[in-house]
Each structure stands twice: as structure tokens, then as C-alpha cells.
Amino acid sequence: MAAALVASLASHPWRAGGFVALAWLAVAVPVVNVFAVERATTADWRADHAAAVARARREGKLLLVVHLSGDFAQNSPESPEATLYRNYILGDPQVAPLVRDRFVVAMRSVGTAKCTPRIQPAPAKETRTPEGKILPPPVERVEMAVAYICLPDERVLHFVPGFVTPAELCTELIWAEAAYARMAAAPSSAWPAAWRECHAEAVAPSDREAFASLIESRWPLKDKVKAPTLSDDLLAGDSTPREERWSDEPAPEYATSDLAAAMQAAQAVWRFASDQQAGQSKSFKADTALERARQRSQAASILAAHGRQGKNLAHLVLAEFPLVYLNDLAAPAYEACSGERFWQTSLRRQELSHWWSQCQASRRKTLLIISSDLSEDELAKLEPPADKAVATLNPVVASIRPVAPKTAADSDSKPKDAIRRLTDEEAGFLASVWRASHKTMTASEFATLVHDAELEPVPHDSVVGFPRCILHDGQGFRCGELAIHEATTERLETMLRLSIGGVASGK
């Protein structure tokens, strides 16, 4: 019967508004009684996301995408986090049959690379040994997993944060399938509204009210979805025509910044609910909820990583953003749950690795220009550079005081701490002038290049990020760098002149 289902699904048409074949599958096939199935082998575990998506489309199955806090540059299916999730959770006899028969599983490591470790913030008070030696700040690395239940077109039905128990994951998978069967009864144009109602019903009314006080809903007030509860019989005892049960208005547009704000609001509500259960909070105040949530982000992330406490985050967010695409949700969801950055491999990874190999083979000096993802407001808050030597690894260069040439833009009326930030285009032009090969790249691309080229590890500040410019000589030795708050055209030109020497082209 399973083979016939797959063959039938393969013949069904696809369309942008919905996945017709999968809708038919959800109605035709009942939820598997996973508690009555004997122990099965672990589901196929794919590190190739594109291959998993193609297989899910081909076989008419749901996607189960697991994002883990392992080293994203290695993305190893054998990492400790991946091994734990696969063997302990997905390999459990309750979960394995359901996942194997109904899902295509894909894993991806999205945590910080080992070759670019994050510098921990200095503690408020120094810790010393009995002998008086100052101890380094403890490394409190959060282990996190986020499992996404998706349609084959990568629209998210549900997500489950943390290393939950097999029984807890099984409960969420069964809920998602039951709710999906209910949504499939609606016309595809009404799916967003119907799925929104499924998530809203899974949250306590008080939490929904608190969440609504923190963000302005994108949905019109007149949208009152007339949908039965999950316990109702969808096909019997209801005289309401199916096409009138749900609103068929298209889902409102959204920006990724909206998702980040919704995740923060959901965190604040979840933490208040946790405090209320412990008897620590009595009333929800919107003006202080977000600030308290930010202050307790690290502790809450640890709780969310190792328990079911974080599941309400999904219901709150997806009730506002039903059927959101995984590419839009993945970064804000992981960062909210873990308190750490979401890292992902660029399509340019092989291109950058090949470029570096060519530069080394020809003994060319290279300038790596790392684009900052800080906003202008965040950049303005950084401490302006003092009038001192260029930050560099070369002690000879460090002893030389650079002199920035005066320009017409300099005037007494200009604020003393005003900085004209170095742009990517200016950095590339200066590198060309001084005959250095150069590439502009994101932080994720830089981290993978350090890993692939086996360069010296580059620690980075969790707030500021990587240095803005890093200069290597023909042997791959790092001979100069500029921090983001030091990067100006004058300082970069001085570093290139002193490190490379000779005469610049065109001068």
C-alpha cells in the first residue's frame, strides 16, 4: 500500500499555493500508532539538505530538519550533537517507525566553528586560584537542537527546540500530523489561516493575550477563523460548508526582522509563564517583559536546550507566521533559543577555497575583507580608535606610528570622535593599488575559509565579530589586521604600505 501511495503521489501536480499531493496523503493515511510498533532502525540521516528536499518532493513525505549546535564548518553527521540526537531521540522505538515511514530527515550543524572560537566576555569579578593566579572566564557553550517539521517546499508546520525526550518529540510529531490533516481539509488558499488557528489553540489564552501586547499582529482584526477544535470530527456532525470554515484571505507579507521581534516576544511570554508556575510572577507587564527576557537569555537558553519548556515558543510564533519558510525562520529561531549566532555555509565555499589555493601557489599577498553585519547604530556605539599604531601582528610595523594625510573633509567643526567607516569597495580598491589579491566575504564565509585552508585559528568577539581586514603574506602568515572600530581608509593604506612595501601602482 505504501508503494501505491508513493506512486500515486508522484503523479499529482505541484503548485505554488500548496502541496496538493501531501494534502491528499494527510487525509488518506491515518497517524501511525508508534507505541505499538516494534523497535526499528534509526531513520536515514542526511547531511545534504538539497538531496533531502528532493527526496521529500519525490516521495511525498514531510521533512524533519534538525539544526544542531555543532561545528558548521565541519557539518559532520558524526558530531557529538548529531550522534546524540540521532541515536537517543530518533533511534528510540517510539520515534523511529514514525520518522522512517513518514519523514525525510536532514541534519545541519549551525554552531560556531572550532577554528574561529567566540571570545567569552570578561567576568565582572576576577576568579583566582589559591596561589593567586587569575583564571580565564569559564566557557559556557550552549548545546542546542531545533527540529523543524516542514512541507517539501520547506514551509514550516512546527518546530521543537531542545534535546527533548523521545516521548516528547513523538507527541509533537503526532500533533503536527493531526493538525496537518485538519488543515488539509481546507482549500489551499485558506491553509495559512487554518494553520494559524491550530497553533493558537495549543497556547493558553493568557499567553496569547500577553504575546499580543508585545507585538502588533499582521492579521486583520476581522479575521475570525471558524475552525473546529482538534477533538472535533471534521467530516461528521458539522453542517457548515467546508469552504466557509476558514478565511481564504492570503497571508500578510512579513520581513525577517518581524520574525526576530516575534521570537523575542515569545521568549518574554514563555519566561513569564515559567516564573508564574514557580510562583515568582503574578502579572504580565509588557514594558518590562522584553528587558527581563534579555537579561535572562543565557539561563533560559540552557533550559530550552534540555527540556520541553521551549515548545510554546513555536506555537506563539507560528500562530502569527503560519507556514513561514524555513530559510526565513531558521536564523531567528536558533539565535533566540540558543543565545548564539546562526552559522550557515555559503554557496561560495569551494570558490573561496580555490582562490586561496591559487594565491598561495603564486605566493601572492592577500587581503581578506570581512563584511560587518552590525547596524550603523551598533557601529556608532563602538569605541572610536585612539591615535596609535595600526593593530597588527607584525611587531616591526606595530612600532611605527602611522600618519594619516589631511584631507579637505577634515575641519575643526567635525566632531573629534567622528569616524568615516571603511567600505568594502574602498578596501578592495586599496588592495588593488598595493597589488594584493583580495576577496570580500561574510563572517560565515571567512570561518569556512579558515577551516578549509587550515589557517591559524581566529578568535572573535561575540558582539563585534571578526576583524574588518586581515592581511596575509605569500606564505599564508597573518602579518596585519584591522579591528572593525579601527578600519579607516588611512589606517588600511598605512598597513598595506608598511607591510607590503615598495611603491603602490598608479602613484
Cβ–Cβ under 8 Å, residues 215 and 265 = yes
**What sign for the dihedral angle of Cα 445, 447, 452, 458?**
positive
Residue 175 to residues 28, 41, 94, 491, 498, Cα–Cα distance (Å): 17, 23, 15, 58, 64
What's the rounded mean pLDDT across residues 309-316?
78
Q: Which residue has the cell 469552504?
A: 243
pLDDT tens track for 317-372: 999 999 999 999 999 999 988 888 899 999 999 999 999 999 999 999 999 999 98
What's the rounded mean pLDDT across residues 111-121?
85
Q: Which residue has the cell 601572492?
A: 364
What's the rounded mean pLDDT across residues 473-502?
86
pLDDT tens track for 39-96: 344 567 878 899 999 999 999 899 999 999 999 999 999 999 999 999 999 999 989 9
**Residue 452: predicted pLDDT:** 96
Cβ–Cβ under 8 Å, residues 219 and 252 = yes
The tally of CA atoms less than 13 A away on the side-chain side of residue 168 is: 17
The tally of CA atoms less than 13 A away on the side-chain side of residue 15 is: 8
More confident residue, 311 or 224: 311
pLDDT band for position 26 (50/70/90)? very low
Cβ–Cβ under 8 Å, residues 479 and 455 = no
**Residue 253: predicted pLDDT:** 85
Q: Is 474 helix (H, G, I), strand (E, B) or coil?
A: coil
> Would you say residue 174 has pLDDT above 70?
yes
**Residue 384: predicted pLDDT:** 55
Angle at which helix 311-320 crosses helix 256-277, to 10 degrees, equals 140
pLDDT tens track for 190-216: 888 889 889 988 888 888 888 888 888
What stretch of H or E contains 179?
A: helix 166-184
Q: How far apart are the first and last CA of the chain?
A: 77
Residue by residue, DSSP assigns 257-325 as HHHHHHHHHHHHHHHHHHHHHTTS--S--HHHHHHHHHHTHHHHHHHHHTSGGGHHHHHHHHHHSTT-B
**Residue 484: predicted pLDDT:** 85
More confident residue, 153 or 305: 153
What's the rounded mean pLDDT across residues 287-306?
48
Domains and CATH numbers, the chain: 2-114+127-338 (no CATH), 349-500 (3.40.30)
Residue by residue, DSSP assigns 133-200 as PEEPPP--PPP-EEEEEE-TT-BEEEEEESS--HHHHHHHHHHHHHHHHHHHTS-GGGHHHHHHHHHH
Partnered with residue 470 across adjacent β-strands are: 368, 481
d(CA 495, CA 390): 7
More confident residue, 384 or 493: 493
Q: Which residue has the cell 568594502?
A: 424
**Residue 114: predicted pLDDT:** 92
| Mean pLDDT across the chain | 74
**Residue 73: predicted pLDDT:** 95
**Which of 25-39, 98-112, 299-313 has the lowest average pLDDT?**
25-39
**Which of 130-144, 239-253, 463-477 has the lowest average pLDDT?**
239-253
Residue 373 to residues 110, 376, 401, 411, Cα–Cα distance (Å): 17, 9, 30, 30
> Would you say residue 396 has pLDDT above 70?
no
